[in-house]
Amino acid sequence: MRIQRHHIVNSRQFAYEKLSLWIKQQCPHLEGQPISMISHKFFLWSDSSLDCAVPGRHYRVILTPGQKYEFKIGNNIFHVHVNINCTACEMPLPDTSQVVNLRKVQKITPTITCQEFATQKLSLWLQKQHPNLMKDPLSLKSSSTHLWPSSALGCKEPGICYTGRLTQGHRYEFQIGDHQFFVHVNKEQTLCVMPLSEPPQVVNLLEDPMAKASTKRAPDEEGSRKRPREID
């Protein structure tokens, strides 16, 4: 039973990561929205297709145990089927007869450094949320390499699914005028978050700032002296 539970945990992480990569590459309009796991069930499929057979592909006719996960992104529901060894990962697309082989989805090598990536994302957020701050130059005060215990990058939010895998990345401290901002980025640049001292406690810098109208005022003089909440 211990071995089985170990595989279940790994398959959940595997399904989440593969779906996240596919969303980033194929559905950029959904990128940045939280991915929530709605349900998961243990299945025993009749063959290695995981009930996602594609014409022209060959499958082993053998009982195949695994998990079926249901994820929600915005108003979209995705079902991901994973065998117990994580050597097969299939996703039937909603409202179509097509099947995506998530096992073949690979990470894309970033073309810019993590520091440049963090600077770009923070600058874009500031332009949309606090344009009055942009009259001052944005400067990097410090940077450090981190190894976080999960994909939350030290900034967990309730109701959001994270992988419990060690995640390597960087933590940057920026200053603009009298204001300081901390940005956490994983090395693949697929995650970029910023802890704040006031709600929202965490800002996902991968979200399109144009998708949400800003209702917040720029920090006042008293608030400018408050350091952001540091989350390790």
Write the CA distances from 52 to 40, 58, 73, integer angstroms.
17, 12, 21
What pLDDT does residue 8 have?
Answer: 44
Q: Which two tokens stand for residue 105?
A: 């989805």
What pLDDT does residue 1 have?
Answer: 38
What pLDDT does residue 216 have?
Answer: 42
| This prediction's pTM | 0.53
pLDDT in tens, 61-92: 999 999 999 999 888 899 999 998 888 899 99
The DSSP line for 169-189 is EEEEEEEETTEEEEEEEETTS
What pLDDT does residue 132 have?
Answer: 93
What pLDDT does residue 109 have?
Answer: 66
Q: Which two tokens stand for residue 176?
A: 């603009």
Where the chain has pLDDT below 50, the residues are: 1-9, 211-232
- Phi and psi at residue 70, in whole multiples of 5°? -120, 115
What pLDDT does residue 21 have?
Answer: 85
What residue type is assigned to position 147 of the chain? L
Task: Compute the distance between CA of residue 187 and CA of residue 208 in angstroms, rounded to an integer.
Answer: 21
What pLDDT does residue 222 have?
Answer: 41
What pLDDT does residue 173 have?
Answer: 96
Q: Which residues contact 90 (CB under 8 A, 6 or more apart)?
A: 49, 50, 52, 80, 81, 99, 100, 101, 102, 103
